[in-house]
Amino acid sequence: MAFDGTEGSFTHKQHAASLTKKHRTDHPESISSQFFGKEKLLHLLNHPDCVGIRIYNSKSDEGQHGFVVVGVNAEEKDLLHHPEGAERSVALAAPAEATSLILVNGPCCPPSCATENELNA
């Protein structure tokens, strides 16, 4: 099966609230959410082959839960760098910010939480 960019579905607030509440109950040690800025997400989505994003659960060496976000192409493959990025980053010692399509380290909740609402209360 290939991805076409229409995957996923929208849901009602009540359904989403029940999903997030169950996760908080079952995993009290985990973060509730993590924020990623529009500029960074658009950087992923603007890759010419990107049809969507994939979100991986993660855990740092210090035990901090989080997410790793990557762009994905129609063949369901993660887009880990710009097409010319791997060669350019080695040749020019370019920073990951210039070549990587792997997004991490968004502010976590807690402490950077939204105002209380149905998804986080």
The residues pairing with 56 across neighbouring beta strands, listed in sequence order, are: 68
Mean pLDDT of the chain: 88
| pLDDT confidence of residue 72 | 96
- Do residues 67 and 57 make contact, with C-beta atoms less than 8 angstroms apart? yes
pLDDT band at residue 111 under the 50/70/90 scheme? very high
Residue-level pLDDT at 84:
62
27-32: which pairs have CB atoms within 8 A and are 24 or more residues apart? Answer: 29/65, 30/65, 31/64, 31/65, 31/66, 31/108, 31/109, 31/110, 32/109, 32/110, 32/113, 32/120
**DSSP state at residue 31:** -
Q: Which two tokens stand for residue 8?
A: 């996923």
* pLDDT of 9: 97
pLDDT of residue 98: 62
Question: How confident is the model over 63-106, as pLDDT tens digits?
Answer: 889 999 999 999 999 999 876 654 444 444 455 666 788 999 99
